[in-house]
Amino acid sequence: MKKIIERLNYLSEVLPSKINQFSEVELMAKPNGKWSKKEILGHLCDSATNNHHRFVRMQFEEQPFVVVPYKQNDWVIVHDYLNTQTGDIVTFWTAVNLQIINVISKIPEEKLSYLCDFGNNKVFTFLELIQDYMRHMDHHLIQIFGTSDL
C-alpha cells in the first residue's frame, strides 16, 4: 500500500506540468478515432471517481461488495472531455486522486482482505482492487505520455 500511496502522491505532483508540455492540438488529436489524450485523462477522472466510491463503500457495506460497472465510453462522451479546458481536467484528476490517497491511507489492515465481486466469477480482495486501480492508471498514462517513466 505504501508504494501505491507514494506513486499517487508523486503523480499528483508531476502530472500537471507533464500535461502542460503538450500543445492543445496534441491533446485533442484522436488517433484512429480513439480517445484523445484529454479524453484518456478524463477517463482517468471517471475511473478515480468510481473507484473512490468503491474504496469508501468497501469498508462498510455487506461483503462481498458487489462492484457495479460503468459505461466508460458513455461517461467520456457525457463529460465532453475533448471540449473541456485541459486545466480543469487536470485539477479534477489531481483533486480526486488526493482524496483517494486520503481514503486508502486510512484503511485498516484487516479490511484489505475484504472481497469484492465483479460478476462472472471474478472476485478480488480490497487490496487487489486498489492495485488494479494503479495498474489501470499506469496503462493509460503510457497511452498519454508514451512511457511509464513519469
Q: Which residues pair with 116 in a beta bridge?
A: 65, 124
DSSP secondary-structure letter at 20? T
CATH class of the domain at 2-145: mainly alpha
- Residue 148 pLDDT: 75
Q: Where are the domains of the chain?
A: 2-145
pLDDT tens-place values along the chain, 150 residues long: 999 999 999 999 999 999 999 999 999 999 998 999 999 999 999 999 999 999 999 999 999 999 999 999 999 999 999 999 999 999 999 999 999 999 999 999 999 999 999 988 899 999 999 999 999 999 999 999 998 777
Q: Three-state SS across 36-77?
A: CHHHHHHHHHHHHHHHHHHHHHCCCCCCCEECCCCCHHHHHH
This prediction has a pTM of 0.95
